[in-house]
Structure 1
Amino acid sequence: MISVRRMLQQALRVSGRSATPLLRWMERWAEGAAAAAPDGTVVRSLDSMPGPSVLGFAWDLFARRGLSKLHQLQLEGLQRYGPMWKASFGPISTVHVAHPALIEQVLRQEGQRPMRSDLSSWKDYRKLRGQHYGLLTSEGEEWQEVRSLLAKHMLRPKAVEAYDETLNGVVSDLIVKLRQRRHAEGLVTDVARDFYYFGLEGISSVLFESRIGCLEPVVPKETELFIESINTMFVKTLLTMVMPKWMHMLFPKPWKTFCQCWDNMFEFAKGHIDKRLREAEEKSNGDKMEGNYIAYYLSRTDLPIKTVYSNITELLLAGVDTISSTMSWSLYELSRHPEVQASLRDEVMTVLKGRKLPRAEDVARMPLMKATVKEVLRLYPVIPANARVITEKDIQVGGYLIPKNTLITLCHFATSRDPAVFPNPDEFLPQRWLNKDQTHHPYASVPFGVGKRSCIGRRIAELELYLALARILIEFDVRADPKGVSVKPMTRTLLVPENVINLQFVER
C-alpha cells in the first residue's frame, strides 16, 4: 500500500492535481481490504462509501450549481471524495464511478442484457399514452430483439458504407445553407441550429430513405416543432425524473410540457413512417416491396407497428443532438486552433486527390480526422454521464460490494477531464490520439458507450461527421467569432453549448 501511495502521489504531483481525495479513498479501500475474506473477496458495504448528505447534494444540485452544471458536479465529486461516491435526491439514489478502471469493472459485470438507468419519466409517458418502448427505453428480451435487428443495418461497416452517397447529398445541402446564412465577413450566427437541421435531415434520410426539407429555405412547421420539442423534452427530463409522481399534481406544468413534447415527436415520426410505407405499397403494385431504409426494414419484421413508431422516434431524437453538438464543438475548436485546421485540411485534400466528395472508404486514411473527432468527444461527450443497473447479481467495484439493482452512474465527463488520465485535460490536443508512445486506458473516454448497450447509431453518426467536416474544410476557412466569445458546455440531459456558437465561414 505504501509503494502504491507514493506512486500515486508522484503521478498526481506531475499532473498538477491534488492527491488528497484519491489517497483518502485508497486508504479507505485498504482498510476494507484488510478485512477481506480469505479468498480476497472485499466485503466493504455501501454504508462506508463517502458522499454528500441528502441536503448537501440538494444544495449543490439546485442552489449552488443547478441542473445545467451536473457535469461540473462530477469533477467536484471526484476531487472531494475520490473515484467512488454515493449521492441521493428524491427517489434517485446512485453510486458515482469516476475512474476508467472502475468503469471497466462495472461494464464487464453488466450481464447478458444490461440495463441503463431507468428513464422513469420517459417510461411513464409511454404508459400514459399507450405507446411502446423503443431501444432507449426497453430492457431485457424486448431490447435484445430490437438491438439484434437494427445491428444488421447500423453497426456492420459494409451496411453503413452504403449510406455515404445519401449522406453526401445532405452535406451538399448543408454547404448551400451555410452560404445562405452568412452575414458580413462570412459570419454565421448560432451554427448549432443549422447543425440540428442537418442532423435531423441526415438521420431521416437513413431512416426513411427520403428527404424531409430541413435544409430548405423554408423549413416545414412540423420539423421546427419536432426540434423545439426535442430541446424542451431534454430540459424537462431531469426535472421530471427527480420529481416524485405525486408532485405532478401540485406542479403540473413541467409534466404537462414534457408529455406534449413527446406527443409532438411521436406524431412527427408516425407521419413520416406511414407516408413512406404508403409510397412503398403504391410502388409495389402487388409485388414484393423492397427498401433499404431502416423504417421499412423494421416494418417488415414481426414487431408491432407501435414498437416501430417508438424505435424510430427514439433514433430520430438521438441522432439530432449527437450530430449537432459534435459538429458545433468540432468547428468551434478548429476555429480556435487554425494550425490543426490547416493540417486536417491538408490530410483531407491529400486523400481525396482532387475529388470533392469523400467516400466512407476514404476515412480509413484520415487518422487526424478520427483523432480530431475523438478529442472533441473527449472534451464534450454528448452523454456526460451514463448509467447501469446490474440486475442479475451483486458485484464488486473498487473494493465495495454493490447490491444488484443499484443505480451506478458512470461519470464520463469527469474521467475524460481527469489530469491523472489525460495530461492538460482542458486543452484541445488531437495529437494525443496519434502519439504511439502515449496510451490511454480504453475506458477513459467512451462517448458512445461500450459493449451491448453502446450507441446503435455510432457508425452512422461518425460517418456523417467525417463527411461533413471534410467538405466544410474543403469549401471554407472556419474562423472564430470576431468578438472572441468563449463558449462553455452545459448539461441539458445531454452536454450542449451553454450559449450560441458564432463562426466565420470564409470562402477558399
Structure 2
Amino acid sequence: MLATVGSLLAKIWSAINFWTLLLTLLTFLLLADYLKNRRPNNYPPGPWRLPFVGNLFQFDLNISHLHLRIQQFVKKYGNLISLDFGNISVVVITGLPLIKEALINNEQNFLKRPIVPSRYRVFKDNGIFFANVHKWKEQRRFALTMLKNFGLGKKSLEQCIQEEAHHLVEVIGEEKGQPFDPHFRINNAVSNIICSITFGERFEYDDSQFQELLKLADEVICSEASMTSVLYNVFPLIFKYLPGPHQTVFKNWEKLKSIVANMIDRHRKDWNPDEPRDFVDAFLTEMTKYPDKTTTSFNEENLIATTLDLFFAGTETTSTTLRWALLYITLNPEVQEKVHSEIDRVIGHGRLPSTDDQDAMPYTNAVIHEVLRMGNIIPLNVPREVTADSTLAGFHLPKGKMILTNLTALHRDPKEWATPDTFNPEHFLENGQFKKRDSFLPFSVGKRACPGEKLAKSELFIFFTALMQNFTFKAPTNEKLSLKLRKGLSLYPVSYRICAVPR
C-alpha cells in the first residue's frame, strides 16, 4: 500500500513542471501582498504601487530629495495622499487647515511616533522622541521639569549661551579672515549648551572624547540616509544579514551608547541624590524611586536613549540652522549689511547680545526666521502614527498608518509667501516690525511639538547675532558657494568654506 502511494506521488511530482510551481508560488505571494496591503475603502488617493516594493520605484531612495518628489504627487492627487514604501504605509498631510485638524483638533489620535526597524534595533521604544504615548508623557514631563530646573528660561542658561558664543567668536577669530569650514566649530558651541544641561559641563573644542562624540553623531546622520539604511527599514528581515553602510550605522550607535554609558558611570562616582547637578543626576535619582524597573521608563537603557535624544535634538537642528544662516547671509550681502547696521545701533560692540534685545531687532529676528523657512531642515516633520481609526478631510485613516506633515509645501506656499523660493526676510516684517506667520511651523505644533523650541530660539538669536556683531562673512576668492544639499536624515548644506573678516 505504502509503495503504491509513494509511486503515485512520484508520478505526480514528475508531472509538475518546475515553472508551474514557481508560477503558483509567485501567484500566492502576490495574492498575500495584495490582501495585506490593499487600500481600505475611502482611503486617501495616491500613485499606483508595485507588489512588495510599493512606490519605492518612483523615488531615488535619497531621503534628502524625498520631500521634492512628494510635492509632485500632491499637485496630482491633492492635500491628502497615500504612499507605500515596501511594508510601510504613509499618508502625507498638506496645508495648514489639515495639519491643524490632525495635530491639534484630533491630536489624541496622532500623538504616537512610529518606530522604524532601525530605531527599534538600537533603542527598542526607549528615549523621549519616539517612545510610545505612555513613556513619552512620563519622560516629556520629567525632561521639561529638569530643563527648567537646570536653566531653561532663566538668566543662568542665557549666560551659558553667551559664554559659549564668546568662545565661538574667539575660535573663529583665530582663522584671521582666512577660508575655513564652520561645520564642527558651530557643532562644538551648540552641543555644549545641551551638554551643560545633561552632563553639567561644557567641553573644550579639542577634547578628544567630545570630538569623537560629535564625529560619530555626524556619521550616523549621514549614513542613516544611505540607500541600504532606507532599504533596511523597508525590508529589515533581508537587510539585517546583508553588508552595507547600514551595518556601520548600528556600530556607530553602539559606540555612542557606550560613550554616554561611560559618562553616566563617571557621574555615579560623585553623585549625591539630594543635590542633582544636571539631567543625568536627576534621572539617576528618579530611578531609585522605582525598585521594579518593569513598571517604569526610569531605567538605565532609557537614560542612555533619552540622553542621546536630547543630545541630537539639542545639537543638530540648531547647528544646521546656523550653518544655513552663515551661507544665506554670505550669499546676500545686502541683508548682511542691514543686520550689521541694526546690531551697531541696538547693541554696539561693548557687550554680548541678549534675548532682551530681540524686540528691538526686528530685522535680525526676521532673518533668523527666514533661514528656518528656507533651510527647511525637517521638510516632512517628525512622523506620527494613527493610534485609532480616524477620519480626516472625509478620508478614512486606519490605525497604524504613518503620518507625515508636509512642511515643505507649507513653507513654500505661493499663497502665503510673496517670494516663496527666494531668501527674503521681508516675509517676517510689516511696517518695519517683526510679524509672526501662522504658516510657519519649523518646530511643529501640538503637544508633540519640539519641547526645546524656546531653547533653540534663544541659541539661534545669541549665536547668530554674536557672530554678525564681530565678523563680516564673505566667500573665499575664486570659490562659489552652493545651496545644494548634503545627503542626511534632514536637509543639510553641503560642506562649504567662508571667510570671517573681523569688523
Query: TM-score band (shorter)?
Result: 0.7 to 0.9
Deviation for aligned residue 1:225: 4.4
The residue correspondences of 1:2-81 to structure 2 (distance < 5 A) are 45-47=41-43, 49-54=45-50, 57-62=55-60, 66-81=62-77
**Distance in 2 between the 1:342 and 1:493 partners?**
33
State the match for 1:289 in structure 2.
Answer: 275
Q: Is the 8 A contact 1:67 1:238 kept in 2?
A: no
% identical aligned pairs: 22
Query: How many angstroms apart in 2 are the aligned matches of 1:459 and 1:351?
Result: 22
- Mark the runs of 5 or more structure 1 residues left unpaired by the alignment: 1-43, 282-286
CA distance in 2, matches of 1:393, 1:243: 23
> What TM-score does the superposition give when structure 1 sets the normalisation length?
0.80
Per the alignment, residue 16 of structure 1 pairs with none
Q: Does 1:159 align with 2:153?
A: yes
Superposed CA offset, 1:52-110 (max 9, x none):
43478323312xx7333112113222233332221112111111122122111111212
Which amino acid in 2 is paired with 1:468?
A: F
Q: Give, in angstroms, the shift of residue 340 of structure 1.
A: 1.9
- Decide which of 87, 93, 96 is 2:92's aligned counterpart: 96
Deviation at 1:346, TM superposition (A): 2.8
Give the alignment partner of residue 358 of structure 2, picking from 355, 359, 363. Answer: 363
SS in 2 for 1:88: strand
Q: 1:268 offset after TM fit, Å? A: 1.9
8 Å Cα contact 1:233/1:261 also seen in 2: no
Distance 2:391 2:148 in 1: 30
The answer to whether residue 321 in structure 2 is matched with residue 326 in structure 1 is yes
SS of 2:68's partner is helix
What is the distance in 2 between the residues matched to 1:330 and 1:440? 19
Amino acid corresponding to residue 165 of structure 2 in structure 1: V
Match of 2:116 among 114, 119, 130: 119
Task: Pick closer, same or farther for the CA change 1:56–1:148 going to 2, 3 Å.
Answer: closer
Superposed, 1:429-468 pairs within 5 Å as 429-435=424-430, 442=438, 444-468=439-463
Could you tell me which amino acid in structure 2 is paired with residue 296 of structure 1?
A: D
1:59 aligned counterpart, secondary structure: helix
| 3-state secondary structure, aligned to 1:76 | helix
Give the SS at the match of 1:118: coil
Distance in 2, Cα, partners of 1:481 & 1:271: 42
| CA positional deviation for 1:336 | 1.7
Query: 1:369–1:150: structure 2 CA closer, same or farther, 3 Å change rule?
Result: farther
The change in CA–CA distance for 1:289 and 1:240 in structure 2 (over 3 A counts) is farther
Q: Paired residue for 1:178?
A: 172
Aligned to 2:257: 266
Alignment CA distance shift 1:141-1:471 (3 Å): same
Q: Secondary structure at the match of 1:426?
A: coil
Q: Aligned residue pairs: how many?
A: 446
Residue 35 of structure 1: aligned partner: none
Tell me which of 160, 184, 187 is aligned to 2:179. 187
CA contact (8 A) 1:74 1:414 kept: no
| Contact 2:224 2:230 survives alignment (8 Å) | no
CA distance in 2, matches of 1:219, 1:476: 30
Letter paired with 1:51: P
* Separation of aligned partners in 2, 1:402 and 1:260: 37
Aligned partner of 2:489 in structure 1 is: 493
Larger Rg: 2
Match of 2:18 in 1: none
Show the counterpart of 1:243: 234
| Partners of 2:62 and 2:271 in 1: CA distance | 48
Distance in 2 (CA, whole Å) between partners of 1:170 and 1:46 is: 54
Question: CA 1:138–1:224 in structure 2 vs 1: closer, same or farther (change >3 Å)?
Answer: closer
d(CA) in 2 for partners of 1:322, 1:348: 25
Q: Normalising by structure 2, report the TM-score.
A: 0.80
Q: What is the DSSP-based 3-state SS (H/G/I as helix, E as strand, rest coil) of the residue aligned with 1:506?
A: strand
Residue identity in the other structure for 1:505: A
Q: Specify every segment of 5 or more residues in structure 2 that has no aligned partner in the other structure, as ranges.
A: 1-39, 288-297
Amino acid at match of 2:119: W
1:136 aligns with 2:113: no
AA at the equivalent of 2:141: S
Indicate how the Cα distance of structure 1 residues 484 and 451 shifts in structure 2: closer, same or farther if over 3 A, else same: same
1:330-369 correspondence runs (5 A): 330-352=325-347, 354-369=349-364
- 1:425 corresponds to: 420
- Give the C-alpha shift of residue 155 in structure 1: 6.7
Q: Relative to structure 1, is the Cα distance of residues 447 and 337 closer, same or farther in structure 2, using a 3 angstrom cutoff?
A: same
Deviates more, 1:384-393 or 1:149-158: 149-158
Compute the displacement of 1:445 (Å). 2.5
Change (3 A) 1:477 1:279: farther
Q: Distance in 2 between matches of 1:391 and 1:69?
A: 28
CA shift at 1:224, angstroms?
Answer: 5.0
Equivalent pair of 2:222/2:487 in contact (CA under 8 Å): no
Judged with a 3 Å threshold, the aligned counterparts in structure 2 of structure 1 residues 110 and 311 are, in CA distance, closer, same or farther, namely: same
- Secondary structure at the residue paired with 1:395? strand
Aligned residue type for 1:301? E
Alignment correspondent of 1:223: 213
Following superposition of structure 1 onto structure 2, how do residues 496-507 of structure 1 map, counting pairs within 5 Å? 496-497=492-493, 499-507=494-502
Change in CA separation of 1:343 and 1:438 when aligned onto 2, cut-off 3 Å = closer
Residues 188-216 of structure 1: CA deviation (Å, up to 9, x unaligned): 2x322322222222321222221222x23
Against the structure 1 CA distance between its residues 91 and 426, is the aligned structure 2 distance closer, same or farther, given a 3 Å change threshold? same
Give me the whole-angstrom Cα distance separating, in 1, the residues matched to 2:329 and 2:132: 39
3-state SS of the aligned residue for 1:134?
coil
